[in-house]
């Protein structure tokens, strides 16, 4: 049996029933264009951010795995397993973290470090160790003893400012590994080799504002300096390889609070821009004024967000969210001009209002969806 549909019911089921088929097709094409644009922006931004997160996780794992070398670094020269060297057990207790500055590329730990060895008392690994890529602000010998069996122990308290070039792609939903690298400043691996002490640990009092500390780990690797430092006694092409103790602390941004605080002004501007479509195209002045206010708010917010990270040519979460907001405002401006043209030049008020409804619903949906996808990718 064939059920006939009444003309009145067909009219209700047809979107924009009072518009011609050609104009309905134009609106559907406009809707498709908006969907494609926001899908492209979302796929682009989320793909970059997710790949950076995976690369950072892989780099952190390699950094604390014996025998593996991080991408972009030169592998150390091999050293013989046996030789006339003294094994020195080294351990570390991270007592506190005074500051972490992503923008200024440093962090400031306070830690205890100890050395145990058997043999020559004058080896003095505690007196000669140095923290790599850091400025040691304070180095204090806390305790030492020398046993009758020729065993020795030293414990030092150190405060340092460690240089750390943070990956800012996922700021402000970022996670990092803060590392302390320790080497002997005098003896290379042919004379002294570190052995990691299982007693290494992290104080529960260590805190970082805005971040959660997920834990710490240690590893001993080798590091080759590819220079003779101009020493006339050194053989050409024979570099010095040192034993290096590494301690890494993994931190992760705590929740979405910082993200919302940074972009609150931008989100308010976006609400203003999208609300402008509630006005008719005949109210051109107020509509343009609302979009202009939203644009200047987005620009001001971009300066605030940019002040948190160092200048770089790399696009990250901050840039993608800011770009998405400015793109939406600009797109709303173009749509407003088109709507005004339809209202005034084509003299079709219903077509103009239908165009505004399609634009605001599709744009708002696309903006919200992409703004959910981007932080989830981080």
Q: Provide the domain count of the chain.
A: 2
Instruction: Decide if pLDDT at 372 tops 50.
Output: yes
Q: What confidence score (pLDDT) does residue 2 get? A: 45
- Shared-domain flag, residues 101 and 220: yes
- Which of 34-43, 83-92, 176-185, 299-308 bottoms out in mean pLDDT, i.e. has the lowest? 299-308
What is the mean predicted confidence (pLDDT) over 146-160? Answer: 94
- Shared-domain flag, residues 36 and 99: no
In a domain, 109, yes or no: yes
Instruction: Decide if pLDDT at 129 tops 90.
Output: yes
Which residue in 375, 100, 322 sits closest to 210, CA to CA?
100
- Which of 49-53, 66-70, 132-136 bottoms out in mean pLDDT, i.e. has the lowest? 66-70
In a domain, 96, yes or no: yes
Confidence of residue 3 (pLDDT cuts 50, 70, 90): very low
Instruction: Decide if pLDDT at 244 tops 70.
Output: yes
Whole-number Å distance between alpha carbons of 76 and 74: 6
- Shared-domain flag, residues 275 and 296: yes
Give me the residue label for tokens 């602390």.
249
Instruction: Decide if pLDDT at 181 tops 80.
Output: yes
- Shared-domain flag, residues 265 and 290: yes
Among 206, 238, 253, give the residue marking a domain's end.
Answer: 253
In a domain, 65, yes or no: no
In a domain, 8, yes or no: no
In a domain, 188, yes or no: yes
Share of the chain above pLDDT 70, in %: 95
Among 211, 228, 253, give the residue marking a domain's end.
Answer: 253
- Shared-domain flag, residues 80 and 221: yes
- Shared-domain flag, residues 266 and 342: yes
Considering only residues 83 and 154, tell me which one the structure prediction assigns the higher pLDDT: 154
Angle at the Cα of 263 from the Cα atoms of 262 and 264, rounded to 5 degrees: 100
Q: What confidence score (pLDDT) does residue 322 get? A: 93
Considering only residues 166 and 235, tell me which one the structure prediction assigns the higher pLDDT: 166
In a domain, 59, yes or no: no
CA distances from 225 to 99, 135, 189, 235 (A): 30, 19, 12, 14
In a domain, 67, yes or no: no
Q: What is the pLDDT of residues 71-115, one digit of tens each?
A: 877 899 898 888 889 999 999 999 999 999 998 999 999 999 999
Among 253, 285, 306, give the residue marking a domain's end.
Answer: 253
What is the mean predicted confidence (pLDDT) over 125-143? Answer: 94
What is the mean predicted confidence (pLDDT) over 120-147? Answer: 93
Average pLDDT score over the chain: 90
- Shared-domain flag, residues 313 and 367: yes
Instruction: Decide if pLDDT at 1 tops 50.
Output: no
Instruction: Decide if pLDDT at 7 tops 80.
Output: no
Q: What confidence score (pLDDT) does residue 254 get? A: 87
Instruction: Decide if pLDDT at 8 tops 60.
Output: no
**If you compute the radius of gyration of the chain from its CA atoms, what whole number of angstroms results?**
31
In a domain, 237, yes or no: yes
Q: What is the pLDDT of residues 322-368, one digit of tens each?
A: 999 999 999 999 999 999 999 999 989 999 999 999 999 999 999 99
Beta bridge partner(s), residue 190: none
Give me the residue label for tokens 């047809």.
14
Q: What confidence score (pLDDT) does residue 82 get? A: 85
- Shared-domain flag, residues 309 and 230: no
- Shared-domain flag, residues 96 and 110: yes
Instruction: Decide if pLDDT at 156 tops 90.
Output: yes
- Shared-domain flag, residues 261 and 227: no
- Shared-domain flag, residues 287 and 196: no
CATH number at residue 273: 1.20.58.390
Q: What confidence score (pLDDT) does residue 371 get? A: 94
Which residue in 315, 333, 329, 221 sits closest to 267, CA to CA?
329
Whole-number Å distance between alpha carbons of 41 and 237: 51
| Segments forming the whole domain that contains residue 319 | 20-52+257-377
CATH number at residue 235: 2.70.170.10
Q: What is the pLDDT of residues 19-46, one digit of tens each?
A: 888 999 999 999 999 999 999 999 999 9
Instruction: Decide if pLDDT at 5 tops 90.
Output: no
Tally Cβ neighbours within 10 Å of residue 57.
13
- Shared-domain flag, residues 99 and 156: yes
């Amino acid at each position: 049996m064939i059920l006939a549909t009444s003309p009145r019911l067909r009219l209700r089921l047809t979107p924009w029933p009072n518009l011609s088929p050609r104009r309905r097709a134009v609106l559907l094409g406009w809707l498709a264009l908006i969907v494609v644009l926001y899908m492209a922006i979302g796929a682009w931004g989320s793909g970059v951010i997710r790949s950076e997160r995976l690369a950072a996780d892989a780099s952190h794992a390699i950094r604390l795995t014996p025998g593996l070398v991080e991408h972009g670094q030169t592998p150390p020269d091999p050293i013989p397993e046996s030789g006339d060297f003294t094994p020195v057990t080294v351990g570390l207790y991270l007592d506190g973290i005074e500051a972490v500055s992503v923008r200024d590329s440093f962090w400031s730990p306070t830690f205890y470090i100890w050395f145990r060895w058997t043999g020559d008392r004058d080896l003095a690994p505690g007196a000669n160790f140095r923290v790599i890529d850091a400025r040691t602000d304070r180095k204090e010998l806390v305790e030492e003893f020398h046993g009758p069996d020729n065993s020795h122990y030293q414990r030092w308290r150190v405060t340092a400012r460690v240089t750390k070039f943070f990956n800012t792609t996922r700021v402000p939903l970022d996670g990092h590994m803060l590392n302390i690298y320790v080497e002997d400043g005098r003896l290379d691996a042919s004379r002294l080799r570190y052995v990691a002490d299982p007693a290494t640990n992290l104080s529960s009092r260590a805190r970082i504002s805005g971040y959660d500390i997920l834990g710490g780990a240690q590893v001993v690797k080798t590091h080759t300096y590819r220079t003779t430092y101009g020493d006339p006694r050194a053989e050409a092409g024979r570099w010095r390889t040192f034993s290096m103790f590494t301690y890494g602390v993994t931190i992760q941004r705590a929740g979405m609070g910082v993200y919302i605080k940074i972009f609150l002004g931008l989100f308010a501007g976006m609400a203003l821009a999208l609300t402008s479509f509630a006005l008719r195209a005949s109210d051109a002045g107020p509509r343009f004024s609302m979009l202009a206010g939203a644009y200047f708010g987005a620009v001001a917010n971009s300066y605030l967000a940019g002040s948190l990270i160092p200048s770089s040519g790399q696009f990250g979460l901050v840039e993608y969210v800011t770009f998405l907001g400015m793109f939406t405002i600009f797109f709303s401006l173009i749509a407003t001009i088109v709507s005004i043209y339809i209202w005034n030049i084509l003299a079709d008020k219903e077509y103009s209002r239908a165009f505004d409804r399609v634009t605001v619903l599709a744009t708002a949906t696309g903006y919200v969806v992409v703004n959910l996808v981007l932080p989830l990718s981080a």
